[in-house]
């Protein structure tokens, strides 16, 4: 069982240094479907909007309004759009091959990958990248604070007369800071987790950016503990249900199996009677 990581006055005010040239996320499935139809010659805004997922926040009227200019789109731009979509498909394919290659190299560290992927905000891909950076046991770092300092997820130390004049974290390892920044933003959106509670409590006082720094710092401490001490993450959030844990576990198992790992659920569900 993981002990609760208590807050400190230093940790509360850390701020992750900005990461330059950070690539935006690739298109979602709804956007890909609509752009693919647009590149194929579809011009009806209603037909394009109907391809969006029902869970999309934008309404059909908003989508139709945004896609209204598609009726007069020059064929040259349609061909350029088709080329861009093909390039994105190639990038996704290359990313999949790299993930598979990483999984093959980390096959012996499967247990560490599974334990690390259980931390909210992280997943199989993030776990593999973290282990590739710090090792399966984080043996290079004798303490969680040293790992946090190396990553760059710790408070600044520009002090004078006991007063800290810098809340900005050191530069640290760029790849790990990028992973932690993405993981922290994902963790605070996970319903019922301790990270969501921390974010709701601190964001009104510190703002989004500094609160994400607090969450990233906590995740860094958890990463060291999970890897170095070989423990498993245990959620402390009061609103986490058994169903949500089962859904997260099933998703993680699917991701592991897709990369070639051999995984079996600890408590397999009996088949439903027919």
Of the candidates 134, 157, 91, the one whose C-alpha atom is nearest the C-alpha of residue 220 is: 134
pLDDT for residue 73: 81
pLDDT band at 12 (very low <50, low <70, confident <90, very high): very low
State the pairing for strand pair 163-164/159-160: antiparallel
Return the DSSP state at 15.
B
Per the rule left: phi > 0, alpha: psi between -120 and 50, beta: everything else, 260 is left
171 CB-side CA count, 13 A: 2
What global pTM score does this model have?
Answer: 0.61
State the burial class of residue 127 (Cβ atoms within 10 Å of its Cβ: 0-12, 13-18, 19+): buried
Q: Which two tokens stand for residue 265?
A: 């659920």
Q: How would residue 132 be classed by pLDDT, with cut points 50, 70 and 90?
A: confident
Indicate whether 168 pLDDT > 80. Answer: no
* Type and span of the H or E element at 160: strand 159-160
pLDDT tens-place string over residues 30-75: 888 888 888 888 888 888 888 888 877 778 888 888 888 888 888 8
Residue 250 has pLDDT above 80, yes or no: no
């Amino acid at each position: 069982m993981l002990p609760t990581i208590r807050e400190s006055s230093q940790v509360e005010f850390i701020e992750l240094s900005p990461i330059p040239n950070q690539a935006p996320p690739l298109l979602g499935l709804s956007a890909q479907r609509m752009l693919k139809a647009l590149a194929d010659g579809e011009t009806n805004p209603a037909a394009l909007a109907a391809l969006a997922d029902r869970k999309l926040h934008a309404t059909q009227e908003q989508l139709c309004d945004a896609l209204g200019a598609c009726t007069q789109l020059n064929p040259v731009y349609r061909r350029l759009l088709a080329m861009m979509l093909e390039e994105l498909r190639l990038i996704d394919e290359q990313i999949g091959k790299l993930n598979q290659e990483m999984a093959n190299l980390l096959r012996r560290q499967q247990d560490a990958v599974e334990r690390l992927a259980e931390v909210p905000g992280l997943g199989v891909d993030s776990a593999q990248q973290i282990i590739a950076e710090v090792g399966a046991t984080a043996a290079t770092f004798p303490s969680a604070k040293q790992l946090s300092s190396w990553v760059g997820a710790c408070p600044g130390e520009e002090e004078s007369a006991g007063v800290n004049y810098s809340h900005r974290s050191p530069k640290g390892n760029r790849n790990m800071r990028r992973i932690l920044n993405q993981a922290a933003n994902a963790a605070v959106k996970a319903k019922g987790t301790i990270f969501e509670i921390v974010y709701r409590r601190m964001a009104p006082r510190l703002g989004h950016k500094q609160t994400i720094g607090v969450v990233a710092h906590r995740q860094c401490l958890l990463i060291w503990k999970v890897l170095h001490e070989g423990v498993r993450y245990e959620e402390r959030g009061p609103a986490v249900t058994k169903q949500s844990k089962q859904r997260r576990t099933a998703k993680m198992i699917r991701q592991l199996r897709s990369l070639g790992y051999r995984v079996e659920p600890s408590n397999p569900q009996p088949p439903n009677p027919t």
